[in-house]
Structure 1
Amino acid sequence: MAAVAKGVLTGIVVLAFLAVIAVAAGVGVVVVAFLGGVLHTFLG
């Protein structure tokens, strides 16, 4: 049972890590798009 519990915990940690990376990537894309829009507006 300990091995199963460890496997489940490892899976949860990996999924959480991937979720954090996905959120960070999404935020990064939004920020870059926003800054790009601002620069485009100012530089016209």
Structure 2
Amino acid sequence: MKSRILKAVVALVVPIVIEFIIKKVTEKLDKNKDVKDVKSIPSPH
């Protein structure tokens, strides 16, 4: 019985955790991209 409850909890929690990690990683990648884009834009002079 406990193992069935445990499996249900894991099945609910794991996707949430994975989604959270993916969001954090994509945010970091987006920040790095923004920094690179700012540097790569040629100055108007």
TM more than 0.5: yes
Whose radius of gyration is greater, 1 or 2? 2
Backbone CA RMSD of aligned residues: 1.3
Q: Which structure has the highest helix share of the two?
A: 1
Please give the TM-score of this superposition, normalised by the length of structure 1: 0.73
Unaligned runs of 5+ residues in structure 2 are: none
Matched length: 42
Unaligned runs of 5+ residues in structure 1 are: none
Percent pairwise identity = 12
Please give the TM-score of this superposition, normalised by the length of structure 2: 0.72
Give structure 1 regions of 4+ aligned residues with deviation exceeding 4 angstroms. none
